[in-house]
Amino acid sequence: MKKSTSGRDGVSVGYYRLFSAGMINGIGDRFSQVAMLSLILSLTGSGMAVGLSLGIRLLPSLVLAPLGGYLGGKLPRKAVMMTTDIARVPFALSFLWVTSGDRLWLLYAASFVLAAGEAIYAPVRKSSIPLLAERSALMRINGMEQLMTGCVLILGALTGGFVSHWLGPETAFVLNACSFLAAAAIISGISFPSSAPEGREEEVRGNESEPGNVSRRKGLASLVAGSLVLQTVLGYELLVPLVNGLDNVLISVYAIRVFYAGDIGVGAFYAALGAGLTLSFWAGGWIKRNFLTAALGGLLLEGLLLMGISAAGGFWAACGLYVLLSLASGIGGASLDTLLMRETPAKWQPVLFGLLTAVTNTLLGLSMLLAGWLLAGTDPRTLGFAGGACFAAIAIALGAYVWIRGGRGGEVSVPSRTL
């Protein structure tokens, strides 16, 4: 049986290629997103238009993310990811024709198609990660995923702000199209194994016969019903997107309409988020256990920081708070992904990641649309404070659920059977 070749850190060369492709693809997307948001605001001046453009990008996940999870289990992962990258090139270039308000429909339509490709691509990519690393390296890899997102925000959003400002949004749109081609070329060199690295499948098979363990042959619902960890993580994944859309829309609105920093301000805020995510890679290395506590504590801190950002007196103070916000978010995100990969047998991962992508992105898209609508009659700072308070409330509610179901304060462990 073909297996991945892992280095001394437990990470295969294939993952480093996947990481590089994600980095290039993400930077191009951020170039395009910063330019797109600035273009929309310059053409319309409408927060509702910003919310609509961001929401549209996430709505295709409802149908197509489960399809991506299905394809990830049936077709070669490399072929699926390369095809979706190459197919998105002409739609990325179609933004070049949006030169007036009456052509915004073209931007919305192209954004929908680009998002449809990402909805298929994302669960296939994520379910490939456990195949390219050993069990002991999962937290490190998920930390690297946060690092990648941080670098994308720094290099993509900040640089994208300058590119859009000095060279025009057209340059950013062309670079995004080129990034799809470059990412596809890198992915073409990955050899995906058909199973998890050596040692992990033996562990799964050996544990299937142990009393009290959930069999791989049982359904996904039975798996979730038997795991307090999965119940809590899924609760997190379903509740947080309901509020997270507010923050996504407010980043651009804060920069342009509250602090009057323009395109460069949008890029600087995203770069601050990137700096925090980059720092979370090293900070997360100190976490060896209690991943659920780290995730819920990070969410609570995010809520408090969002309330602080809503009351920030200046642009640079808000930037500093965004760094701390994404530091907490990065640690929490890596912890959550590690729990999901450890608790879910490999056969169920493409389906679970596909369903999660569908539901969370759809909820996030609806939340963005709601945020755009609320901005028409609500002060941005008031809306930001309310969003932060909701984050804190979700963290407290999930923590209480774990405390009650887990034996009133007993440690919630991740059993070895889950791999």
Say what the pLDDT of residue 392 is. Answer: 95
Say what the pLDDT of residue 9 is. Answer: 57
> For domain 13-203+218-418, which architecture applies?
Up-down Bundle (1.20)
Say what the pLDDT of residue 217 is. Answer: 39
Say what the pLDDT of residue 215 is. Answer: 43
pLDDT string in tens for the chain (419-residue length): 344 445 555 667 888 899 999 999 888 887 887 788 777 877 776 666 776 776 677 677 777 877 777 777 778 888 989 999 999 999 999 988 887 777 888 888 898 898 888 888 888 888 888 878 777 777 788 888 888 888 887 777 667 767 776 777 788 888 889 999 999 999 988 887 655 544 444 343 334 333 333 344 357 778 788 888 889 988 998 899 988 888 888 888 888 888 888 767 877 887 888 888 888 888 776 777 788 888 899 999 999 999 999 999 899 999 999 999 999 998 888 888 888 888 877 777 777 888 887 888 778 878 877 887 888 788 899 999 999 999 999 999 999 999 888 765 444 444 433 33
What is the SS3 assignment for the chain?
A: CCCCCECCCCEEHHHHHHHHHHHHHHHHHHHHHHHHHHHHHHHHCCHHHHHHHHHHCCCCHHHHHHHHHHHHHHCCHHHHHHHHHHHCHHHHHHHHHCCCHHHHHHHHHHHHHHHHHHHHHHHHHHHHHHHHECHHHHHHHHHHHHHHHHHHHHHHHHHHHHHHHHCCHHHHHHHHHHHHHHHHHHHCCCCCCCCCCCCHHHHHHHHHCCCCCCCCCCCHHHHHHCCHHHHHHHHHHHHCHHHHHHHHHHHHHHHHHHCCCHHHHHHHHHHHHHHHHHHHHHHHCCCCCCHHHHHHHHHHHHHHHHHHHHCCCCHHHHHHHHHHHHHHHHHHHHHHHHHHHHHCCHHHHHHHHHHHHHHHHHHHHHHHHHHHHHHCCCCHHHHHHHHHHHHHHHHHHHHHHHHHHCCCCCCCCCCHHHC
Say what the pLDDT of residue 52 is. Answer: 74
The model scores a pTM over 0.85: no
Say what the pLDDT of residue 399 is. Answer: 93
Say what the pLDDT of residue 184 is. Answer: 94
